[in-house]
Structure formats: structure tokens, C-alpha cells
Amino acid sequence: MSDQTQASGPSAARLSDRRAFLRFLAASPVMTPTAMSAIAAALAAGSSDAFAQSYDVLRAPQQATADGIISAPEQALNVFDFEPAAKKALPPAHYGYLASGVDGDETLKANHEAFSRIRIRARRLIDVRKIDTSVTIFGQKFGTPIMLAPVSSQGAFHPEAEGAVAKAAKLKGNGMILSTVGSTSIEDVTEARGAPVWYMLYPTDDWTVTEALVKRAEAAGAPAIVLTVDRQGGRNTETLFRLRREDSRVCQDCHLGGFANEVSRKPMFDDLDVTKVTNLYGTGMTWDYVDRLRKIVKGKLVLKGIVTHEDAEEALKHGVDAIIVSNHGGRAEESLYPTIDVLPEVVKAVNGKVPVLVDGGFRRGTDVLKALALGATAVCIGRPYCWGLAAFGEPGVAAVLTLMQREFETIMKQVGALRIEDINADAVTRA
């Protein structure tokens, strides 16, 4: 029973007549799906003001889940619901690759846990019926500040791979960054997205290959080349190694030794001579390498993996156009420094001269607002949309983006922000 008392007498009769009328409308062959949904909600509510008031408990259909794991995207209440569904859908090793941080996964955990130490200051009596969540970066307008971070080898999660992700991003208005070792070419991803995507560059240790990758990405329209600089020291992905033990498949059937075999199914390396390449990550990179790359990149050059004010200041000296504060989603180093905690020092060092983006641990719309309040231009998410991809393909990605955007819009209204520019440091405090 609700907190309302059971109707009786004339009121009950009127309610019964109203229900009969609604059922008559529902049976009409000309009713639209939207109208049908409204009528169904009204019938379920059983209240005279059902059309005027939306009850939270009726927001989603009541559907049972097996073992608490969703079986359809619309069952999800938040992005966390997609992780167990992804784990169920994937072979252990593939899930391990997605789930793994480095060493004890402590930095991975810290990335998200740090958001709980930041509080949001709500404001009242501001008309927030109309808000604008759009952002413009490098002259490209996106419907939301939530961008899709580069994640490698998405064919390991779903056959449609980055193509499905790009279609969902197009539908929801999100920006997207494609990995060098994605399972889909930049040309196909750009077509599916319906707009240019940024290109994340693993530089390799062969300049000829690096230059070819940059030229191909720019020829496909990529407005930004995103150089990843946080993989120079190698990494110990213990969670991946542990879950591989549970995988009965023979990994060598797909993963053969040697760089050429490693990238043989990565379309960005098609027709390239990789015989001189020994690693993807340019382990000998210095700031001189950034200078060299700056000379050949015709568009914008972004550094991904900056986590200190010293490196942010140095990046500006070398002509970098933007910075992504990142520890590779907790997969670069076990520093225990969450990206949301180091964001302010990078923002201060940059002093508004270039955009500052951030990734690492974003799971809620409130997380997004906290980052923007601390000075980020936009945020990038990785694992959440890959959970959606692994579990349900394109609809799963779209559902993840919808949920995070809905949460973000809700908290924007609570702080009284009508535009992204209205979100500032006054919106948050440190616990």
C-alpha cells in the first residue's frame, strides 16, 4: 500500500470510471507508443494526478533479474549494473584485461573512491527547467562533456567493437577517442560516429610507423592526435594474469609472439612494415620526441597521462594544445594518486591556456560535475561503456551514456547550473 488511504464511495467510482476510460484509450489502434506509456503509468499509479506527477518507484518497469545480473540494458539503474553482466558475457581472460589495474589494483580503486571525499553544494530557487550541457573543444561541439576514452582491442568485448561504440556516441552526442590498437579502423569509426574522432597514438619505437599512423589519422579527419605518455615503465597486471588461469581456451590461438603478430588484427597497422618495431609505447620517449611529433601533427596535439604540475608546465613549453590528466585508468603505475586529486594542480599550472581533460574512475554524473567544478574542460570514461558493450553491444553503450548523462543533468540542476560554464569551484568542497 502507498501512504494514501484506500479510496471508497463516490471517489472510488470516479477512479473506476477514469480507469475504464484509460483502458478504452489504450485499446485504440491510433495510440502512439509514447501515449501508451503515459496511460500505462497512469493505470499503475491509480491516482487522479497521475499525469501531473511522476513517481520514482514507477520510473522503470519491475523486472526480475537472475542472480542480480541484468539481462537487458533497460534493467540497469546505474552503470555499475553493467559490470557483472559484462563479466558473465566475457571469457575470463578478456574480462581480466578489462578489469585489471596494476599490482594490487589500489590506484584503480583510488580513482573512484576519491570522489567520495568531494562534496557538492546544492543551490535553491533557480529556474533549471532548461539547461545546456554542450561543450566545444577545438571548434567541435559535443552535446555533453562526457567523452569516450580510448580502450584497446574492443573486438575482445563484442564483435561490433568500436563501430558499435561510435554509433552510440553519435546517438547521444558524445565525443570519442580511438586507440591505435583498436579493432576497427579510424575510417570506419569516423563513418559510424558521423563526425571526426580524436586519435590516441601509441608511438612505437619506429618513427616511420609513427609518422604513417599520424598521417592516416589526419587524412581521416582526426582533429587531434592524443599521445599517450604513461606507459614507459611497463606494468604488472596481476588481475589479468590471475583470471587467465581460469580461462580454458588456448591464448596462443589468437595471441602469438612478436610485434607483427600482436598487431596483425589491428587495422591501423595494415600495409605498414612493422619489422623494426619492438614495442608500442615508445619507451625511450623524451620531450624531444614531443617536439618532433609537434612538427608533423597538422592539427591539435594532446598529451594523455600528465599527472603533475611540473609536466603540465613543460607541456605548454613544447606547444601542446591540450592535456588529459590520466593514469591509464589505474593501469599505468601503482602511485595511489587518484586523477581527481591531481587535477587541480594541473589546472592551476595550465592557467586556462589549453583545455584540460581527465579520466579515471568516473562512474556517476556527480563525478562528472565534481571534475568540471575543479577545472576540467571535459571528462573521459572507459570501463563503463566497455561493460555496456560487452554485455549488450551498441544498446548497452547507449544505455551507459544515457544513465551517466541523466545523473549529470540532475546534479547540474541541483547546483543551479544552467550551462557548463556555470559549474565552478563554488559547487564543491573537500570532505
Q: Scanning the structure block, which residue is given the C-alpha cell 581521416?
A: 220
- Tell me if 332 is assigned to some domain: yes
Tell me how crowded residue 116 is: count the other CB atoms within 10 A of its CB. 10
As a dihedral over the C-alpha atoms of residue 414, residue 418, residue 423, residue 424, rounded to 10 degrees, the angle is -100
Q: Which amino acid is at 356?
A: V
Domain count within the chain: 2
pTM: 0.86
Length of the chain: 431
Domain span at 315: 75-430
Helix (H), strand (E) at residue 155: none
Residue 104 and residue 222 in one domain: yes
DSSP 379-391: EEE-HHHHHHHHH
Residue 149 and residue 226 in one domain: yes
Alpha carbons 176 and 195: distance in angstroms, whole number: 10
- Tell me if 69 is assigned to some domain: no
Helix (H), strand (E) at residue 214: helix 207-219
Residue 16 and residue 97 in one domain: no
Residue 37 and residue 161 in one domain: no
Selected catalytic residue, list 94, 112, 158, 328 = 328
111: cell is: 580513482
423: cell is: 559549474
DSSP 89-129: HS-HHHHHHHH--STTSHHHHHHHHGGGGEEE----S---S
Answer yes or no: are the C-beta atoms of 199 and 191 closer than 8 Å. Answer: no
- Tell me if 271 is assigned to some domain: yes
Residue 423 and residue 371 in one domain: yes
Residue 79 and residue 52 in one domain: no
- Tell me if 265 is assigned to some domain: yes
Answer yes or no: are the C-beta atoms of 47 and 4 closer than 8 Å. Answer: yes
CATH number of the domain at 202, please: 3.20.20.70
User: Among 385, 407, 382, which residue's Cα sits nearest to residue 73?
Assistant: 385
* CB burial of residue 304 (10 Å; 0-12, 13-18, 19+): buried
- Tell me if 279 is assigned to some domain: yes
Residue 48 and residue 86 in one domain: no
Q: How distant, in Å, are the alpha carbons of 103, 114, 343 from that of 237?
A: 6, 22, 25
- Tell me if 65 is assigned to some domain: no
Residue 52 and residue 84 in one domain: no
- Tell me if 372 is assigned to some domain: yes
- Per-residue pLDDT tens, the chain, 431 aa: give them: 444 434 444 444 555 555 555 455 555 555 554 454 444 444 444 444 444 445 566 666 667 677 899 999 999 999 999 999 999 999 999 999 999 999 999 999 999 999 999 999 999 999 999 999 999 999 999 999 999 999 999 999 999 999 999 999 999 999 999 999 999 999 999 999 999 999 999 999 999 999 999 999 999 999 999 999 998 878 999 999 999 999 988 887 777 778 888 888 899 999 999 999 988 888 889 999 999 999 999 999 999 999 999 999 999 999 999 999 999 999 999 999 999 999 999 999 999 999 999 999 999 999 999 999 999 999 999 999 999 999 999 999 999 999 999 999 999 999 999 999 999 999 999 98
Residue 85 and residue 33 in one domain: no
For residue 328, indicate whether it is catalytic. yes
Residue 126 and residue 43 in one domain: no
